[in-house]
Amino acid sequence: MKGFAWTSAPDLAAALRAGSATVAATMAAAPGPAAANAVILKAGGIDLLDLMKEGLLAPQRIVNLRGIPELGRIAEEPGGALRIGAMVTLAQLAGDPLIRARYGALAQAAGGSASPQIRHVATLGGNLLQRPRCWYFRSIHHDCARKGGRQCFAFMGENQYHAIFGQYGCAIVHPSTAATALVAFDASVELVGARGARRTVALENFLLGPEVDLQRENALAPGEILTAVLLPAPKPGVRSFHLRQGELDSFDWPIADVAVVLELGRDGACRRAGVVLGAAAPVPYRARGAESALAGQRIAEGTARSAAIAALAGATPLAKNAYKVPVFEALVRRAILGAAGQA
């Protein structure tokens, strides 16, 4: 790791001032002048240190956000919505009684991410903004399309962990497992700009696929800070479930993960379903076919199975990742039954 200057922001205003000097953190095959000039605002630092150790980032200044108390709180808003500060750790999310009771799939997704040691440090904000884990993106020897190069090496290369949907010029999968659950719950992110202006954007719209921007995974503007994630108040009859499948029983990135949120009526019929696939596409993939297959239906093995098949319709797997299709189908079916309490 190269040297850098270190400062701690005592409050949001100080962080915004520091962030306004942010040069877009340009990734380069070899760190170039742009990457070397960047000011980086650091949350837990897990991905940042990875990128620096891999030689992909060499910031001149790092601003630590850990000392800002308002970013570290989980609070219920009037009306029942939940506001989760960007610096809340994955371990806090997994263990929070309110999240476990009302947004179970989020607690499951956070608790199944990475290792216990990483969950104690990694934050929700950092988790959402981490860079992709594609091995070509992470290699300084591959000048890939996402780093401004001419090609995506995954298309003709080792693509067993890559996307099966939406590979428009780049085949990454979104690295955040928490995002899978958050999109299923229709969560939003709160963003504060350099002049203090706040805006709220649906997470689903905040995360950008390569067809929108090949080099960035989100719509964070220069100098802007992601301050919180907002979860809508739970409707009566909402139940949720998250499942992940790794290649190992031990900790690893999921090869597939699925979040299901069901709004069940008193008659047991599904009023509305959210079905989202993680590690499937460059952004969390909302399986609209599965959602409409479940609407109005009573949940049973048969409906879950049809919805799972509908979820994978239109998949475009690459040479080495077609195995993901049946894995996802099994996870979608089990997660639907899990959410309905029939697992």
The residues of the shown chain that bind other proteins, judged by CB under 8 A, are 1-6, 8, 45-46, 49-50, 53, 62, 64, 66, 91, 114-118, 120-121, 250-251
Which of 96/329 has CB closer to other proteins?
96
- Neighbour count for residue 297 (Cβ, 10 Å): 17
Which of 1/202 has CB closer to other proteins?
1
Gap between the Cα atoms of 45 and 31, Å rounded: 19
Q: How far is the CB of 32 from other proteins (least distance, A)?
A: 19
3-class state of residue 274 by DSSP: strand
Return all residues near 121 (Cβ < 8 A) that are at least 6 apart.
44, 45, 46, 89
Q: How far is the CB of 91 from other proteins (least distance, A)?
A: 7
Which of 73/120 has CB closer to other proteins?
120
Gap between the Cα atoms of 154 and 59, Å rounded: 28
- Which helix (H) or strand (E) covers residue 51, if one does? helix 46-53
Which of 46/173 has CB closer to other proteins?
46
Which of 33/80 has CB closer to other proteins?
33
Gap between the Cα atoms of 124 and 43, Å rounded: 9
Q: How far is the CB of 70 from other proteins (least distance, A)?
A: 19
Q: How far is the CB of 83 from other proteins (least distance, A)?
A: 24
Q: What angle do CA 77, 83, 86 make, to 5 degrees?
A: 155
- DSSP letter string, 200-238: EEEHHHHB--TTT-SS-SB-PPTT-EEEEEEEPPPPTTE
Residue 74 main-chain phi, psi, to 5 deg = -110, 125
Q: How far is the CB of 1 from other proteins (least distance, A)?
A: 5
Q: How far is the CB of 175 from other proteins (least distance, A)?
A: 14
| Residues in a beta bridge with 275 | 260
Q: How far is the CB of 118 from other proteins (least distance, A)?
A: 6
Residue 169 main-chain phi, psi, to 5 deg = 80, 0
Which of 89/218 has CB closer to other proteins?
89
Which of 123/227 has CB closer to other proteins?
123
Q: How far is the CB of 116 from other proteins (least distance, A)?
A: 5
What is the β-pairing status of strands 39-42 and 82-85?
unpaired
Which of 54/186 has CB closer to other proteins?
54
Q: How far is the CB of 304 from other proteins (least distance, A)?
A: 26
Which of 132/274 has CB closer to other proteins?
132
- DSSP letter string, 77-143: PTTS-EEEETT-BHHHHHH-HHHHHH-HHHHHHHHTSS-HHHHTT-BHHHHHHPPP--TTTT-TT--
Written as six digits, the tokens of 10 are 């005592």
Nearest by Cα to 244 from 275, 273, 279, 274: 279
Gap between the Cα atoms of 71 and 63, Å rounded: 14
